[in-house]
Homo-oligomer: A and B are copies of this chain.
Amino acid sequence: MKPNPDNKHSIATPTHTPQLQAFCEVVESRRSIRRFTDTPIPDEVLTDCFRLAMLAPNSSNLQPWEFYVIDDADNRKRAVKNCMNQNAAKTSARLIAVVARTDVWRDHAQQVLREYPDKPVAKQVKDYYTKVVAMDFLRGPANVASVAKWGATQVFRRVKGPIKSPYYTFEDTKNWATNNTALAAENLMLALRAYGFDSCAMGGFDEPAMKQLLNLSDDQHIIMMIGAGERADNGVYNTQFRFDQTQFVHYV
């Protein structure tokens, strides 16, 4: 790749600003930490990390995420057990269930309109949240609306051209909520790192047991458990590596 001196953003010219440098350090120093020290995470720090988590981009600002901080001693004991007693849970200062919700899109669409800061709310914004969003998620009893929607989409695509893919099934909505919530989870883990703390995202847990413990409904999906705390000296288990970028990035 040739350096491009005419471009003000080229890294051939010095654009490694202190801000970029600091951001790289946060991302590069984040590792999945499996053992934490006894140092607690202050509530104020955690609150600010959640604030940063919730600044993640999300579809139509519908915010389908939720976070359960399991602090109660008895709940924690059971939650650690549901994480198969792994050290990242057992030694964590805070143990957090990250939840994606499939049942909040309708209420949140209304709440967006109520709390919309740019007044008066434009008609196209109102229409979007009352009509477009509803049509996007609508499934109807026994998915009957989904079938009609699928048929209409096929016809529209042939006659008019591209059309936004709507959500047909419960799994589509779950995937949508998971996608959005994971964006916030990544912000949360990076924010903890920026505060000098660390995390371990765990997929290894008993989801039905954890849902029972947290009293979650069939519309609340634990997409990951996060153990958080201060990194112990023996907290990193192995050397970090990734496959070569050319395996994943395609220029087409």
Interface residues of chain A, those whose CB is within 8 Å of chain B, are: 1, 3-4, 7-12, 15, 17-28, 30, 32, 39-45, 47-48, 50-52, 54-57, 59-61, 63, 65-72, 75, 81-84, 108, 111, 115-118, 125, 157, 161-165, 171, 174-176, 178-180, 182-183, 185-187, 189-191, 194-197, 200-201, 203-209, 214, 223-224, 230, 238-243, 245, 248-252
Q: What's the least CB distance linking A146 to chain B, in Å?
A: 15
- Cβ-defined contact, B11 with A248, below 8 A: no
Q: What's the least CB distance linking A246 to chain B, in Å?
A: 10
Bound CA span A23–B163, Å? 37
A186's nearest neighbour on chain B, judged by CB, is B186
- Cβ-defined contact, A7 with B40, below 8 A: yes
Instruction: Name the one of B161, B175, B191, B248 contacting A67, with C-beta atoms under 8 angstroms.
Output: B248
Q: Which residues of B contact A248 (CB under 8 A)?
A: 50, 54, 63, 65-67
- Cβ-defined contact, B175 with A9, below 8 A: no
A47's nearest neighbour on chain B, judged by CB, is B245
Bound CA span A67–B191, Å? 25
- Cβ-defined contact, A195 with B27, below 8 A: no
Q: What's the least CB distance linking A83 to chain B, in Å?
A: 8
- Cβ-defined contact, B208 with A165, below 8 A: yes
Bound CA span A205–B248, Å? 22
A169's nearest neighbour on chain B, judged by CB, is B171
- Cβ-defined contact, A203 with B252, below 8 A: no
Q: Which residues of B contact A8 (CB under 8 A)?
A: 39
Bound CA span A81–B160, Å? 12
What would be 10 A-B contacts, judged by CB atoms less than 8 Å apart? A1-B47, A9-B39, A9-B195, A19-B26, A20-B194, A60-B203, A66-B248, A118-B238, A186-B186, A214-B252
A20's nearest neighbour on chain B, judged by CB, is B194
